[in-house]
Structure 1
Amino acid sequence: MRIVHYGHSCVLVETETARVLIDPGAFSSGFEQLRELDAVMITHQHFDHIDAEKLPGLLQANPSARLITDPGTQELVSKLGLESETAYPGQSLQLGETPVHVVGGEHAVIHQDIPTVANVGYVFDNGAFYHPGDSFSVPQHRIDVLGLPTAAPWLKASEAVDFLRAVKPRIAVPIHEAVLVNPAMHYGLFTNLAPEGTEVRVLSKGEALEAQRV
């Protein structure tokens, strides 16, 4: 099996019988040029995992590719006019001769005031590769290569380490790392959840802000 990382959570998985792209999101790049895909798989509905602007063109350029999503992404892809299949936890899929087991079910908690959305992870070829999406779901399979979430509003470094230790893969490939150089997701979270009367203001380098005595 061959694995190619296109940034953040976007990963191309190539087996002897299938060529599969996972989570082509807004923080990823280069996947737009891929051809001869057998499937495009989405773990959940957040924009950094599914780029609604680029997905239709990607599927148009790969007419034989199956679009497979979690239950929570059905409405989005339907609005885009795309046909899709829904993957449910506990289900087993077949891509060529490659089995894919669907695990998980829910996105990790971002904040108690934000509703939890659906999230599924995909275990390829009985454990050769595991993409958890945005979750800490530990599969029953023994995992050879794990896509390890690195940084997110829902993630502490200690939690990533605990997840890594629980899965115990032979190799861990850091994914979901784009927020380390693009903090806009965190800024948006602070803005949306700030208490009434609080403004979140991002200062550019060297910019001054006047504070008042309270």
Structure 2
Amino acid sequence: MKITRHIHACVEISQGNDRIIIDPGTFGAPDLCGATILVTHNHADHVDPELLKPGMTIYAPRSVAHSIPVECHIVEHGRNFTVGSLSVEVLGSEHAMLTHSMPIAENVGYLINGRVLHPGDTFQPIKDVELALVPVNGPWVKMLDVEGYLKKFPPKRFIGIHDGIVNDRGLAINKKFLTHLGETYGSEYSPLEEGESLEI
């Protein structure tokens, strides 16, 4: 499988001719033509309704289905489906808490081929996953949260995502801390920048 980082939380996973793009949001997204689209939740940085066109194959939780202009397959925790040679397991149901005064949004994660985890906006409690896409910045997450996740549920390897609101100075600080945390908790950190890929 080839994993390509795009902006913020948008990630592309491909195997042969099969392509999945997760969370093409308003911060920017690659060409979606021919790809199957997976959406974790209905926040604008994870889904841009203007990018979604009739005829696209889209999987998303119910709250997203009610807010986009095209039909999609509704998913929930425990639902499994396939995209060509790629198997997808749907995990979780809630977004991490943003504030005590705001309701908790619906959020699902996706585990691809049992190997690559995109959690959306939360930390999915799965241990020893081969590659985890780990949110590292945002209103709901701080580096202590990332450390707690890596300590309790260390993936074999991880890529930091959800950093589209951070400037270059902040990204450099992130890289320093994430490298340290990976070394401390025995999880290999792969510092992919936008447009960069790795294969597993």
TM bucket (normalised to shorter chain) is 0.7 to 0.9
| Runs of at least 5 residues in structure 1 that lack an aligned partner in the other structure | 183-214
Deviation at 1:17, TM superposition (A): 5.7
Deviations 1:143-180 (A, max 9, x none): 11111101010111100121123332222111000121
Aligned-partner Cα distance in 2 for 1:175–1:83: 28
Asked whether the 8 Å contact 2:110–2:117 carries over to 1, the reply is yes
134, 139, 143: which is aligned to 1:157?
143
How does the TM-score come out when normalised to structure 2? 0.78
Counterpart residue number, 2:85: 97
Which runs of at least 4 in structure 1 moved beyond 3 Å after TM superposition?
Answer: none
Q: Is the 8 A contact 2:123 2:134 kept in 1?
A: no
Identity, % of aligned pairs? 28
Mapped pair 1:44 → 2:41: yes
Letter in 2 for 1:22: I
Give me the TM-score of the superposition, normalised by structure 1.
0.73
CA separation in 2, counterparts of 1:34 and 1:86? 19
Secondary structure at 2:144 match in 1: helix
Write the distance in 1 (CA, Å) between the matches of 2:51 and 2:167: 22
The alpha carbon displacement at 1:54 in A equals 2.3
Q: Deviations over 1:183-208 (max 9, x none)?
A: xxxxxxxxxxxxxxxxxxxxxxxxxx
RMSD: 1.7
CA distance in 2, matches of 1:94, 1:17: 14
- Gaps spanning 5+ residues in structure 2: where? 169-200
Larger Rg: 1
The number of residue pairs the alignment matches comes to: 168
Cα distance in structure 2, aligned partners of 1:85 and 1:166: 33
Map 1:54-133 onto structure 2 (within 5 A): 54-56=51-53, 63=55, 65-77=56-68, 80=69, 82-126=70-114, 128-133=115-120
Higher relative contact order structure (alpha carbons within 8 Å, sequence separation ≥ 6): 2
